[in-house]
């Protein structure tokens, strides 16, 4: 029986991240060609129609400038999130996606529309920084420290004040990152720490 050779995880992480970026760019090209018709599918806070934005907002951008500013962080942080485990990385992304979208839908200003992959970017930053410490994994801690050094100034984007920027998306993406890191911790709890 021939042995099955498994591809390294980093290759799968690179393919998935690259494919996601291609989807973002194709959707923005389609959006531009349609006169920005897809922008309406972003999160519209506290409106029934706006709930669909929870599913679609991270895929959509308000122009190529917006997409360009998100592309490199998506490539770097998306890859790092998936590189230590595809299934765990995808689950973390799903948690960030939903928590970020729901947070925007509940707390952002009604009448506004929120879109962009930055909800994932902020979630991935926080997830990558927190998970290593929760897992007590040296490699993940080092990745988290590097990510923090590279992106710590971006974390100021969770504060209100910059016109045209969804600080709510950034904030709740970051909250989703904490939740994902906590829920997906791989550290085995010691039975000796249990008290009766």
Cα–Cα distance measured from residue 67 to residue 61, given in angstroms and rounded to the nearest whole number: 6
Q: Give the distance from CA 38 to its chain's centroid.
A: 20
Domain boundaries, the chain: 9-187
Helix axes 86-107, 9-33, angle to 10 degrees: 40
What pLDDT sits at residue 91? 98
What pLDDT sits at residue 155? 76
Superfamily of segment(s) 9-187: Rhomboid-like (1.20.1540.10)
What pLDDT sits at residue 4? 64
Phi (first) and psi of residue 185, to 5 degrees? -60, 140
DSSP single-letter state for residue 114: B
Q: What does each C-alpha distance from 41 to 149, 166, 173 come to in angstroms?
A: 34, 15, 18
What pLDDT sits at residue 143? 94
For the CA atoms of the chain, what is the radius of gyration? Answer: 18
Mean pLDDT, the chain cut into blocks of 10 residues (196 residues total)? 71 97 98 96 94 96 96 97 95 98 95 95 96 91 93 76 80 96 76 41
Cα–Cα distance measured from residue 148 to residue 155, given in angstroms and rounded to the nearest whole number: 9
Q: Furthest-apart CA pair in the chain: how many Å?
A: 64
What pLDDT sits at residue 102? 97
Q: Under a CB-based contact definition with an 8 Å cutoff, are residues 176 and 100 in contact?
A: yes
Phi (first) and psi of residue 165, to 5 degrees? -110, 130
What pLDDT sits at residue 152? 83
Cα–Cα distance measured from residue 82 to residue 90, given in angstroms and rounded to the nearest whole number: 7
Burial pattern 92-125, b for ≥16 Cβ within 10 A else e, equals bbebbbebbbbbbbeebeeeebbbbbbbbbbbbb
pTM of the model: 0.89
């Amino acid at each position: 029986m021939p042995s099955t050779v498994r591809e390294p995880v980093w290759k799968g992480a690179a393919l998935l991240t690259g494919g996601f970026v291609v989807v973002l760019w194709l959707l923005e090209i389609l959006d531009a060609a349609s006169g920005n018709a897809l922008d309406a599918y972003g999160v519209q806070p506290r409106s029934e129609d706006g709930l669909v934005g929870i599913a679609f907002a991270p895929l959509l951008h308000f122009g190529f400038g917006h997409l360009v500013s998100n592309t490199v962080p998506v490539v770097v942080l998306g890859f790092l999130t998936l590189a230590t485990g595809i299934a765990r990385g995808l689950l973390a992304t799903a948690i960030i996606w939903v928590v970020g979208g729901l947070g925007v839908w509940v707390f952002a200003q009604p009448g506004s529309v929120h879109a962009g992959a930055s909800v994932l970017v902020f979630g991935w930053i926080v997830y990558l920084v927190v998970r290593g410490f929760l897992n007590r994994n040296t490699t993940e801690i080092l990745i988290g420290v590097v990510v923090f050094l590279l992106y710590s100034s971006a974390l100021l984007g969770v504060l209100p004040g910059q016109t045209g920027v969804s600080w709510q998306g950034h904030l709740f993406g970051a909250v989703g990152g904490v939740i994902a890191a906590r829920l997906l911790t791989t550290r085995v709890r010691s039975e000796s720490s249990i008290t009766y």
